[in-house]
């Protein structure tokens, strides 16, 4: 069998396993475990030590997937370092980063050295060799997972000084850890080879770092250049991945070339991870293509992570994992202790509030791609102990992945920086609306809703003597945007909130309602400002822009005058309403099996916030919101049919 055929067979078999691993990881997510745990476990099961679906001899043909994945992970890490977002917390980020970097690294080296007598591959090592392994392992202890941190922040909609500092330290630390790794890697190679450390070795190391920085800038310029072109998104992804892999190929070629040609008498090593991170950092901060670049990384990331973590699991030696798992637990606690101390020291130097200092270590427990990537590089560079080294690191990272996210969530809740959506109140059988803002349009809307059987209140951001008397609508006067004022309105009984104030006031009310009340529908009359439009969308509000609403309305009147006039209530004998299915006997029935009035038309069904276009075989569920069109008499019959038994 020729070489190319072996690669194709190994690659094809692995991709099938990776697809299965992706489904397994989703099951782990349902039981609140990290995706990485499922991917690693699937890889271990498929590996040569368990089911042998991926024979050990095949993994050597898949090393290029590791290098592609590592380059992509480096691009993703660099893209998170956006200076404009972290400058407000610069002092706190600086001192907490230094605290985490110096103390975690220092105590990590000490802990590994003291535990070396219990680590099989370190027992017979000399002092210099033990220190070499110690600095390599302690470097990985410093690494964090930006993607995991961002996932938690997005889930909780967290924002505030603690959140900004956490993400800033996480990203800056991962950039610095690559530089630290390059230094420690060079030192470890020197000590483990038995060569004496000299001034010339230090000069070589500095030159290698300078060249890595220069190449990082060059890669950034190249990415910035080809992102300017309007080409297919998938082609850009392909070019980006190829460019990252090319960095690894060039680094390997340069190292071999300098050794074979006896140019320096020393292998010239440039750090591909550092180059890719710096290239991504340049594009993120000095290119107008940043949004597209970030979007591509986020969309492609899940595929890359499936490949990388599954392959990492498949190459693990299970017997070694069992042997060193106790050591992995010990190192987990050593790392945890060092981060707690670093949190207090960094927070004190930064002048953070005391409640922050107690929690400063919790955001940095989780590890993932960068840490595993560095362990993989060490396994390849030091085959005599690399397998055991990587296995210990995988054990530590798996524990960190399980423990880390809950700790970060706990910390964000303790500092009151979470903004999760409040649970939506149950429907009480009567439609009620609250309109914020007193003006002719809001008053007209209130009267129209009242004529259609709704209970309506208007929340006026004015004093009672500033408006005239209104007898037919309940007016509640508000003196501030606060939860205490909101409670005056009995908001939990409302099905819809309509915000008709300025964008700033609308957003403040919208956020308060989202977090504290959980009203089913929030309708916002906005000015069209893109800044606020994104914020309203994040709060799941329905936005009406008066500037475009009239154009859209006229467009619909031109193209479909009959349907538009019915939907707008201009036809006196026709109306369109939303009805919630509450009768349990209707559960599972298809629309075609219902005996509906002949003039009723089912337009759509909203289920779990997803809009469904219906047909005769669509089956109904309790809780569905059904949009129906027909005469008022027929609508009343359907409401009775769908209502509670």
Cβ distance 446 to 459 under 8 Å? no
Q: Which domains does the chain have, with CATH numbers?
A: 3-414 (1.20.1530.20), 432-550 (3.40.50.720), 570-642 (3.30.70.1450)
Give the whole-angstrom CA distance, residue 601 versus residue 604.
9
pLDDT tens-place string over residues 2-27:
556 777 777 777 788 788 877 777 77
**What does the pLDDT read at residue 539?**
77
Q: Give the Cβ contact number of residue 220 at 10 Å.
A: 23
Q: Name the residue among 106, 91, 99 with its Cα closest to residue 346.
A: 99
Q: What is the pLDDT of residues 225-278, one digit of tens each?
A: 888 888 888 888 888 888 988 988 888 888 777 777 666 656 777 778 788 888
CB atoms within 10 A of CB 125: 16
Comparing 568 with 627, which gets the higher pLDDT? 627
3-class DSSP assignment, residue 627: strand
Region 62-67: what's the mean pLDDT? Answer: 79
- The stretch 116-126 carries a mean pLDDT of 82
Residue-wise pLDDT tens digits, 176-200: 887 788 778 877 877 776 666 566 6
Strand order in 542-544's β-sheet? Answer: 474-477, 455-460, 432-436, 496-499, 521-525, 542-544
Asked if the model's pLDDT at residue 406 lies above 60, the reply is yes
Average pLDDT of span 322-337: 84
Residues 6+ apart with CB under 8 A from 19: none
| pLDDT, tens only, 412-465 | 888 877 766 655 555 556 778 888 888 878 888 888 888 877 888 888 887 777
Q: Is the pLDDT of residue 354 over 80?
A: yes
Q: Report DSSP letters for 119-166, one per residue.
A: SGGGTT--HHHHHHHHHHHHHHHH---HHHHHHHHHHHT--SHHHHHH
What is the mean predicted confidence (pLDDT) over 512-529? 77
pLDDT band at 560; cut points 50, 70, 90: low
Which range scores top for mean pLDDT: 248-252, 320-324, 372-376?
248-252
Is residue 39 within 8 A of residue 25, CB to CB? The reply is: yes
Higher pLDDT, residue 314 or 88: 314
> What is the structure's pLDDT at 177?
81
Query: Mean pLDDT for the chain?
Result: 78
pLDDT at residue 1, as a whole number = 46
Instruction: Look at residue 555 in the predicted model and tell me its pLDDT.
Output: 66
User: For residues 48 and 604, which has the higher predicted lDDT (pLDDT)?
Assistant: 604
Percent of the chain at pLDDT exceeding 70: 82
- Work out the average pLDDT over 106-122: 85
Distance of CA 15 to the CA centre of its chain: 25
Q: DSSP for 217-284?
A: HHHHHHHHHHTTS---HHHHHHHHHHHHHHHHHHHHHHHHHHHHTTSSSS-----HHHHHHHHHHHHH
Spatial separation of the C-alpha atoms in residues 14 and 65, rounded to whole Å? 10
**Phi then psi for 424, rounded to 5 degrees?**
-70, 130
75 HSE (CA, 13 A, CB side): 30
Segment 622-641 mean pLDDT:
79
């Amino acid at each position: 069998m020729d070489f190319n055929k072996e690669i194709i067979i190994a690659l094809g078999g692995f991709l099938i396993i990776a697809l299965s691993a992706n489904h397994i990881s989703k099951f782990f997510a349902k039981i609140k475990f990290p995706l990485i745990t499922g991917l690693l476990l699937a890889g271990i099961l498929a590996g040569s030590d368990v089911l042998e679906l991926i024979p050990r001899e095949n993994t050597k043909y898949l090393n290029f997937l590791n290098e592609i994945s590592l380059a992509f992970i480096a691009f993703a890490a660099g893209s998170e370092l956006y200076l404009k977002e972290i400058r407000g917390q610069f002092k706190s980020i600086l001192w907490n980063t230094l605290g985490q970097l110096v103390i975690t690294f220092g105590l990590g080296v000490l802990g590994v050295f003291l535990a070396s007598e219990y680590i099989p591959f370190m027992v017979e090592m000399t002092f210099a060799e033990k220190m070499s392994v110690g600095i390599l392992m302690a470097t990985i202890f410093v690494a964090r997972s930006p993607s995991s941190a961002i996932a938690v922040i997005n889930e909780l909609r967290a924002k505030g000084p603690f959140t900004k500092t956490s993400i800033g330290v996480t990203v800056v630390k991962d950039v610095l850890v690559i530089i630290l790794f390059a230094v420690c890697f060079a030192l470890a190679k020197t000590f483990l080879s038995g060569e004496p450390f000299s001034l010339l070795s230090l000069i070589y190391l500095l030159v290698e770092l300078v060249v890595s920085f220069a190449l990082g800038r060059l890669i950034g310029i190249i990415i910035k250049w080809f992102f300017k072109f309007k080409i297919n998104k998938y082609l850009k992804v392909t070019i980006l991945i190829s460019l990252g892999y090319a960095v690894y190929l060039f680094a390997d070629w340069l190292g071999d070339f300098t050794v074979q040609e006896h140019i320096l008498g020393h292998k010239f090593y440039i750090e591909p991870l550092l180059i890719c991170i710096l290239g991504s950092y340049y594009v993120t901060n000095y290119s107008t293509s940043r949004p597209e670049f970030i979007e591509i990384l986020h969309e492609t990331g899940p595929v890359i992570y499936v490949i990388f973590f599954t392959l990492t699991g498949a190459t693990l030696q299970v017997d070694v994992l069992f042997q060193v798992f106790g050591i992995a637990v010990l190192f987990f606690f050593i790392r945890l202790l060092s981060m707690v101390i670093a949190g207090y020291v960094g927070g004190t130097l930064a002048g953070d509030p005391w409640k922050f200092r107690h929690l400063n270590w919790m955001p940095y427990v989780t590890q993932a791609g960068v840490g595993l990537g560095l362990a993989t590089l060490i396994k390849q560079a030091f085959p005599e102990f690399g397998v055991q080294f990587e296995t210990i690191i995988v054990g530590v990272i798996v524990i960190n992945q399980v423990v880390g996210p809950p700790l970060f969530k706990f910390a964000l809740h303790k500092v009151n920086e979470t903004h999760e959506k409040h649970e939506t109140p149950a429907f009480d059988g009567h439609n009620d609306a609250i309109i914020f803002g007193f003006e002719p349009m809001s008053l007209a809307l209130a009267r129209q809703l009242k004529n259609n059987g709704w209970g309506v209140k208007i929340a006026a951001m004015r004093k009672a003597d500033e408006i005239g008397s209104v007898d037919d609508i309940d007016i509640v006067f508000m003196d501030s945007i606060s939860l205490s004022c909101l409670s005056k309105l009995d908001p939990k009984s409302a099905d819809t909130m309509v915000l008709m104030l300025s964008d700033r006031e609308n957003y403040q009310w919208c956020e308060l309602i989202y977090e504290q009340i959980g009203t089913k529908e929030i309708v916002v009359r906005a000015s069209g400002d893109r800044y606020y439009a994104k914020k309203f969308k994040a709060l799941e509000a329905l936005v009406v822009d008066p500037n475009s609403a009239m154009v859209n309305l006229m467009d619909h009147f031109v193209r479909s005058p009959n349907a538009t006039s019915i939907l707008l209530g201009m036809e006196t004998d026709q109306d369109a309403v939303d009805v919630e299915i509450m009768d349990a006997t209707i559960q599972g029935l298809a629309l075609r099996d219902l005996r509906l009035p002949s003039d009723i038309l089912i337009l759509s069904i909203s289920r779990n916030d997803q809009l469904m276009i219906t047909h005769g075989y669509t089956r109904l569920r309790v809780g569905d919101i059904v949009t129906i069109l027909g005469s008022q008499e027929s609508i009343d019959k359907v409401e009775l049919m769908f209502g509670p038994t």
